[in-house]
Chain A
């Protein structure tokens, strides 16, 4: 079956604009994660969805960031009023459940804010 897909693969936007990044997890995976990775850096946890539970939003860097997961499947990460420091690769991962089961990563969306 298909792996985790993300769209767009690249996004260039002007400072101040809003952007939406999409993640399609592997079918049947109940857990979905969003991470941010700046050039040459590690992964920064943003948000975690598990089934119908309230998401863990503890990693979102500001209130300009929000995420939704509709129907327990597709997720959208929205960044409002983008800033240059938002430029990074945004990675999505899904897994079968909690307790740190292996995560399957998408290819990421490279966001550039000019």
Chain B
């Protein structure tokens, strides 16, 4: 079974509008962390935002916010006021604490294209 599912291979958004990138996850571990990364065409992985499973509030980092719905096991990324520079691949990832595995498991990614 897929640990991290991103159902949107590609998304378009108009500049200055908001966009939501979907992410659902599967785990039986009560302690886990969810991450979003941006990967531009250069290939570098840019950390955007983190949500811990015990965090009571949704994480926010500037124009990025994470809509965390624990019961539904979803962790959607919301980008407000999209900019042309936001065009990139976006990956949702998870780390589970119980396994002791410190590596991240990534979803298949969503390619976001911001149109002027």
Q: Decide whether A and B are members of one complex.
A: no
